[in-house]
Amino acid sequence: RLFYKLESELSLVSGSGSTVFGLFHQRKKALDVCERLKNTYSLSLAKSLSRAQYWDSINAGV
């Protein structure tokens, strides 16, 4: 419900329920939410990658 109130596009709970995450279309909105919640929760900001970006990132330097 928290991410819903914070206007995330989607929020889900991990399989075991120990992690909740929200998806935001705009980086600024995600940053604003992180700033607002950083003193209450342990947070990580992540970016979705395309398949090509993913493969490029794991093959970099190999």
- ∠10-12-33 over CA atoms, to 5°? 60
Q: Which residues contact 37 (CB under 8 A, 6 or more apart)?
A: 43
Please count the structural domains in the chain. Answer: 1
Res 30: pLDDT = 92
Give the pTM: 0.69
Per-residue model confidence as pLDDT tens for the chain (62 residues): 787 788 888 788 888 878 888 889 999 999 999 999 999 999 999 988 999 999 998 888 66
33 touches 21 (CB < 8 A): no
- The range of the structural domain enclosing residue 19 comes to 2-59
Give the integer Cα–Cα distance in Å for 42 and 62: 33
25 touches 9 (CB < 8 A): yes
